[in-house]
Structures are given as structure tokens and as C-alpha cells.
A and B are shown apart, each in its own frame.
Chain A
Amino acid sequence: MTDTPLAEPEPRFHRPELGFLGWMSVAILLFWVVVVIFAPWLAPYPESTILTNQSFGPGDAENPMVFGSDYLGRDVLSRLIFGARITLGLAFTATMIAFVLGVTLGFVAGIIGGRTDDFMSRINDAFVSFPSIMLALILVSAFGSSLVLLMLTIGFIEATRVYRIARSLAQNIMVMDFVEVSRARGESIWWILRNEVMPNAFIPLSTDFGLRFTFAILLLSSLSFLGLGVQPPFSDWGSMVKENQAALNYILFYGIKVAGAPLLPAVCIFSVTLANNLLVDWNLSRSQQDISGELIS
């Protein structure tokens, strides 16, 4: 192409379409946000009141239950609604903690480099080398599993993963020519961090945020399923699956109807994680477009 100014048409920036699956995902996530915020008004019954003496039944005339009762005779629907608060709220806060911790430390290590980086990264590697569920089990058995401690535990474990991504992003951006130009100009490290590193790290990090949130939900649910997560009287989706797993034995005799109590919480976990992953994929394709100017599909 000749270099006469304006000779080249300006490439248009196209935002990839969200598509049907994308909109479904947004709808599912919005639905859960509404449920989390308005739980007390949406739930037909209090979360821990025993309403019937029938386990895994359809309720009775006074207390009809859409999804039936659980092993103690509580309303499954109400418990799912309140469980959403615990599961999603706790996982979200834990992810926030993970990002504040992981990104700060990761950027520090990536930008300063040298021995500081070696020291921080090797310690981090030690934690990363544990499977996250095992590390969680150790920490929970050492410190206990109150809601705050669970949040901190999961936040810490995910932070070790976030740290690695933030560090390598910072390292990659710091050696780009435009950062070299800023350094040669005499800009301070803070200016470079704010103006060059942060904006360019934002989209990859936001993608990772979505994934981390999913992992946090799964980690929390696994802990609860093993009985080391959320403790009664609170309950999250993971602990609901555990409490009600006896119902799975009754399917043969009474049909699938009785299995709502253990299966529906699992479906809820599935819906949130799937919707979240679909959105992450979409965000990723957007970020690939940002770098190359073209959608990599």
C-alpha cells in the first residue's frame, strides 16, 4: 500500500455479537442477581423452618411445596433461594479478595522483577503446587469454616492463581516498545502502571475474573459437599446436595420426583457456571479482536 495519508480505509472496530447463547447466559446471571438481592421476598417460606414431617414429599394442603421438601421437611425452593445468597455472595466476595491480593502482588513482582520476583513467585509456586481442594481442606481444618474464614480461604487460594496471570501480564506489557518509550521519556513507575499496564491488562484480567468466579463457586460447593464448607444452620447449594443425597436411593421406588432436593441445587450450580463460562468465551473473543483488530474465530 502506498503511504499517501488517508489512502488506507480505517479498519472498523466490530464488537462481536453476543448471540443466542450469550443472551441466554446474561438472562440466567441476571435472574440469579435478582434472586440474591430479593431472596426474602421471593422465598415462599423461611429457609430453616420445618414445615412437614414428610421427607422428600410434595408438602401438604397448608404448605404446598413446588419442589417438595428436603430430608427434614423444609421447603427446597426457599432453601435454594437463600442458598443462592450464600453460594454466589460468598464466591463473589472471595473472587474480589483474590483479585485485589493477586493483581497487586502479581504486578509488583512482574514490574520490579529480579530477586523480589524470584522470592515472591517461588513462595507462590509452593501454594500453587497443591491441588486447590486439598489446600482448602488443610486451611479449613486448621482455621475453621465460619463464613468469613471460608471467604478468606477461597480468596487466598484463588489469589495464588490470579497472581501468576497478573505477573506474566505485567511482564509482557513491561517489555513492549511503548513502555520502553515511556521509560525513556522518564515517566515514573506509577504513571506507567496506571496508563500503560493497567488498561492493557484489563480485558485479560476481566476474563480471568469470570473464570475465577466459576472456580470459586465449584470450590465452595465441593467443600460444602464434603461437609467442611458452609455449616448449619446456613446452607449453600453444595451442602444441600450433601444433606439430601439419601433421596437418590429412593428414585428407584418413588420415581425422579423425590430427587429434587439433591438434584436441583446441582442444576443451579451448573446453570451459573455454564452461563458464566459462555460469557467468558465471548469476552475472550472481544479481547482477541482488541489486539489484532480482527476477530479470531
Chain B
Amino acid sequence: MTALLRINDLRIEGRRNRRSPYTPIVKGVSLEVKRGEVLALIGESGAGKSTIAVASMGYAKPGCRFCGGEVLFDGLSVLDMTLEEKRAVRGARISYVAQSAAASFNASLRLDDQITEVSLVHGVGTKAEAVERMIDLAHRMQLPNPEEIVRKYPHQVSGGQLQRLMAVMAMNARPDLLVLDEPTTALDVTTQLEVLAAFKDTIRDSGAAAIYVTHDLAVVAQIADRIMVLLDGEIVEEGATEQILHEPREDYTRKLMAAVRPPPKRSGEGSVSRDAHSDNVIEVTNIDAGYGRRRDGSIAVKVLHDVSIEIPRGSAIGVIGESGCGKSTLARVISGLLPAASGDTLLDGQPLAGDVKDRDRDQLRRVQIVMQMPDVAFNPLKTIGQALERPLEFYLGMRPDQRRQRVAELLNMVELPAEFASRRPMALSGGQKQRVNLARALAAEPEVILCDEVTSALDTVVGAQIIDLLKRLQDDLGVTFVFISHDLSTVASFADRVVVLYAGRVAEQGPTAQVLSPPYHPYTSLLLHSVPEMRPGWLEEIRETETAQLAAASVVEIGATGCPFHKRCPLAIKGVCDTQPPPVRPLPNGHQIACHREIAELGH
């Protein structure tokens, strides 16, 4: 069978702005995709994955241009087409699914109108046929109530559903080639699982070909037939999925594989927690917090319900849960950015004021927060040096010459050269910015650093380097870390204790090894089972389980009565779990599970 898409020696160059010279981005890449086949392009950001993927539609991103090679789609040379001819192909025969579905839908049009538009514009059948295909695809994407959901507006459905609807839109005109650009990267593990499965089924059923761009090897293992590894616009290695995963030929591929943290072990063994601490640097007791105020003074949207957590000195606490579970809210409460409605926060046994304004400077110094998005964490007009000097001046009252010296030490501590002090944030890569972000927190000489999803915006490789840095800092400086993440593997590799949050309540907490081994809270179990394993076939196995099917049927709901997880729980007891809040069941070493079921029933 001949290839549907053939790219020969493709060369693309780009420039930063109109005055700078063109530099090569894609340096002679050749590939083939056959019908019914999924080719994955993997590599770190900047490797040229997306650039190659969109080149198959004859599209060059702004600032880029084709400078060599050819793109043959079904025998037609795409690069030689006029814009009119390209338009006829795009959407109808080749379609594109972007990373952010939220940004790809028009917020003021109903979903069904947007989904069927492509078919109507290209004249692929009548409106009724397009609608029929839409409903059929939505069923296959396992969307709940397809007939109803497509009549909603984009903001009325969840992120995972929107991503699937995006795929429905892309496939509505029955394209021959699908270009999927990191379509699951922005999703939670549980949602990612559903979306991946839906993509895989629909691609297989429709007999289309697909190019799947990602940096996540575990995802690739589930969906790709062949893998192409890219580095700086060149092919490192290409081969069947099994071969790349099990017998990589190139060092770079091995390095990529090494950066993937193994899924947390689900046996009794695991990292042994450090010595038992009795001394808590922070204690949070019975916190309720949320956003907005009603007229009577109560919280309009209550996010955290009765949360109590102990943070032992010198430890690393992992806080996990899907998005919307209140992880960041917890960090904002501890840092004083969001005063709690009730409950106490203790620092070294002393009560901390709820509002940052009422805390004294020394209390402020001892608790530092590191934000999620490195790109917006710095004032773009200040140099790195200025950003790092401010806490030194503010908390420690250092003179200018002392500050400059300390800035150099801090940069050294996060493994950056001292020259970076004179640069502006714009001139740094994401990983470098995140290091400076940590250095700024360290400048205050804090006792606790709250890290809010500090690796989420980064590549796997860069994220792994940041985790290694955090571990080293903890060993060297004895700082306590509260590490918030939706990535269970990362948390498991780093934290001594884990707190599992679900819909603003603590579902389970305790030493990492104990939380990640039976008995589990059913939600912990779901999270653990949803982390993709780097072996083909895992996705099919996991989808058969009742846990996964129930979990997919519903989403996180804040403010549900009873146990918030009951709708997605395979062990839910009718009449109990949906009406009464679960009791907290204590286990050894401060391990707690909040569940109506007896500990003995929480086996797997």
C-alpha cells in the first residue's frame, strides 16, 4: 500500500522577527504515513515536531518558510498548491486538533454549529448527514448524552469533553489524515485516559491516518504504530513502537526514556520515608476556604472543606488530585493570599493570621510560594538580579553589595551562571525561569516552600531536572517542601508524605509508601491506575476495569453532599455515601483514609 502522506527531505527555516536572519528549524526530515497508521513525533519543545506536523497541511507558522523538500499528500504536492487548493484540502481531507481545545472553539457559538461547519463549508454531504456523523462520532468518543452536549456552548462542558468534541469537529468531514498536536497534554491523568482511548478507537474505525505530536512517551506507547524521535529539527531515530520503547538504538532516545518517571510502585515496597517527625513546621486544622462572598458572609464557592494537614519539618509533602480539587487553593491559604473562612494555620505552633497583610515580616519570610507558570512569574521589565535582590532587601535588609554577592550565590545554587543576573526574564527558557523562580523563594531563607505545579508547564526532561534540583536543595538546606502536582509519578518520586485531595476534601494522607500501597482510598486507586504505563496494550486493559468506566462517567464536583467521590466510586454504598460525609479511618504512622468502607474492604 502506498503512503497517504510522504514528506521528502523537508526543510523549514524561521526567524524571530522581520530583521533577524532566517535560521533552520527543520533540517531535512523525511517520513511516510499509511492509511490506518498512527505515526508519533516525539521530542522536547523546540525539536520541530509541531512545525513538521502542520507542514503536512502546507502551512508554515508565522515567521517560518519552506526552503526545501516536498510534501506529497495522496500524490499531490501540497507545497505547490495555491491557497485555494490548500483550502480545499484542509479541513476536508486533512484536519488538525490543537493542544488547547478551549482556545480552538468560538466561545459565542454553539458547539454543534462549529462542529458541522467544516463539512458544510466543504460541501461534504447535507447538514442532516453532518449532524448524524457528529452524533455518531460523539457516541464513539464516549461523550455522555451526545444529543444534549452538542447543543451547549464551549464554557458549559469540561476540559476533557471539549478536547473530545474538538476531535469530533476535526473528524466530522471524514478526513483522510488527522494531525493531533499534543491533544492530551493539558489534561488530568484520568481525563487523558478517556480521550486517548476515544482517539484510538475513532482513528482505527475510520481508517484514517494520523500524525500524533507529543513529548509524553507513555502516551505514545498507547496510541502509536510507529515513533519518530526528533531533536533540533533532525530525525534521531525512527521505528515501530515496540522497538523504540524496548530497544532504542540512540543515546538520545534512551535519555528521553530515562526522563519518564516509572509509575509509582503499587506494592508494599517503595521509598522508605525519612525518620518519623514529631515536630511540625506547619499545621493546618479544619480549614474551610473558597471564593466570593454571599450577603450573609458565607463563602459563595466553597473549595476546601474541613482540611487538616500536618507538615513535618524538613519533609517533602506531595499534594495530588485532579484539577479543580483545591490544590492551589490550599497553597494560597497557607501563604495568606486567600484567607480561610474558618480553621487555623499554625507555623511552629504559633497561629498565623489568615490574611497576608496581618502577618509579620518574619512569618512571611518563613513561608514562600513558587508559582506554576514560569512565563508570568516575573515582572517582564525587571532583570533577574532585581527580582532576586528584592526579597534580600525586604526580608534580610541587605546592603546593595551584599545583595549582589548573594544573588550570584543563589543563581549558583540553582545551577545557573551568575551572568544571568543582568538578563531579563524574556531571555530565559521555561526551565531556566523556573530555576530563578525557586532561587527567588530561597532568597528569603524560608523554612517552607510551597511549589504549585512547578513542573507542569515544562517538558518531561526539563521537569525531571527541576525535581532533581528540588531533591538536592532539600538535602543541602533542609527546607520543607509542599509539592503540589497532578502528576502522581512526580510526587511519588519526591515526597515523604502524600495528601490526596478530592473536591476540596482530604481523601487520604500518610507516608508515601503507605498511601501508594493497599489499602487505598478508591480515589487514590483510580489515580494510580490512570498513570499511563509505557507499554502498548495497557490502555485496552485498563479501560475494561469498572473503576475506569465509572470514573469516566462523571467529573469533579465541588460541594456535593456526602462523600464527593461517590458518583465515580466503584465501592459506593447507596444511601450512605451519597448522603453522609465519610468518617476518617486512622491507620499506623498518621496514615488516614476518609471512606465509609472498612479498611479491610479497601484492598485493591
Q: A residues touching B (Cβ–Cβ < 8 Å)?
A: 1-3, 5-8, 10-14, 176-178, 180-181, 183-187, 195-196, 199-200, 289-291, 293-295, 297
Contacts and interface: CB of A to CB of B under 8 A. Distances in A.
Interface string B245-284: 0000000000000000000000000000000000000000
Interface stretch (B115-123, B377-385, B535-543): B377-385
Contacts of A5: 415-417, 420, 432
Given A8-B429, A186-B361, A3 B19 contact: no
A295 to B, nearest CB: 5
A180 B337 contact: yes
A10 B423 contact: yes
A185 B415 contact: no
A3 B417 contact: no
A183 B358 CA distance: 12
Contacts of A11: 16, 426-427
A177 B356 contact: no
A175 to B, nearest CB: 10
B376 interface: yes
A293 B426 contact: yes
Contacts of B462: 2-3
B369 A181 contact: yes
B440 A181 contact: yes
Contact of A183 (B16, B18, B337): B337
Contacts of A14: 17, 19-20
15 contacts: A1-B46, A2-B461, A3-B462, A10-B423, A10-B427, A12-B20, A14-B17, A178-B379, A184-B335, A186-B359, A187-B394, A200-B379, A293-B16, A293-B426, A295-B18
Nearest to A178: B379
B361 to A, nearest CB: 6
Nearest to A10: B427
Nearest to B47: A1
Nearest to A199: B381
Contacts of A10: 423, 427
A14 B426 CA distance: 13
A180 B427 contact: no
B343 interface: no
A8 to B, nearest CB: 5
B429 A3 contact: yes
A181 B336 CA distance: 11
Residue in A5, A12, A289 whose Cβ sees the most chain B Cβ within 10 Å: A5
Contacts of B440: 181
A289 B19 CA distance: 13
A3 B380 contact: no
Contact of A181 (B371, B381, B426, B427): B371
Given A1-B45, A184-B336, A176 B376 contact: yes
A1 B44 CA distance: 6
Contact of B356 (A8, A183, A291): A183
B461 A3 contact: yes
A199 B380 CA distance: 10
A185 B364 contact: yes
Measured as residues with beta carbon below 8 angstroms from the partner, the interface class of chain B is: 35 or more
Interface of B: 16-20, 44-46, 63, 335-337, 356-357, 359, 361, 364, 368-369, 371-373, 376-381, 390-391, 394-395, 415-417, 420, 423, 426-429, 431-432, 440, 444, 461-462, 465
A196 B63 CA distance: 31
A246 to B, nearest CB: 51
Contacts of A8: 428-429, 432
B45 A177 contact: no
B63 A177 contact: no
A291 B424 CA distance: 12
Most buried by A among B17, B381, B461: B17
Given A3-B461, A183-B337, A291 B380 contact: yes
A178 B356 CA distance: 16
Contacts of A13: 426
A11 B432 CA distance: 14
Most chain A beta carbons < 10 A, residue from B337, B380, B462? B380
B69 to A, nearest CB: 23
Nearest to B373: A177
Q: Which of B390, B444, B461 has the most CB of A within 10 A?
A: B390
Contacts of A183: 337, 356
Nearest to A195: B379
A2 B458 CA distance: 11
Nearest to B429: A8
Please give me the 4 A-B residue pairs with the lowest Cβ-Cβ distance, nearest first.
Answer: A3-B431, A186-B364, A1-B46, A177-B371
A186 B46 contact: no
B350 to A, nearest CB: 17
A169 B395 CA distance: 29
Contacts of B376: 176-178
Given A185-B391, A200-B380, A2 B337 contact: no
Nearest to A196: B379
A282 to B, nearest CB: 14
A198 to B, nearest CB: 10
Contacts of B359: 186
B369 A184 contact: yes
A7 B431 CA distance: 11
A2 B44 contact: yes
Contact of A185 (B378, B394, B428, B461): B394
A253 to B, nearest CB: 53
A12 B377 CA distance: 21
A247 to B, nearest CB: 47
Nearest to A202: B381
Contacts of B335: 184
Given A290-B380, A294-B63, A180 B429 contact: no
Nearest to B444: A185
Given A3-B465, A289-B17, 19 more contacts: A1-B46, A2-B44, A5-B415, A5-B420, A5-B432, A8-B429, A10-B423, A10-B427, A177-B373, A177-B376, A178-B376, A181-B440, A184-B335, A184-B336, A184-B364, A186-B357, A186-B361, A196-B379, A295-B18
B251 to A, nearest CB: 13
A53 to B, nearest CB: 60
A186 B362 CA distance: 10
Contacts of B369: 180-181, 184
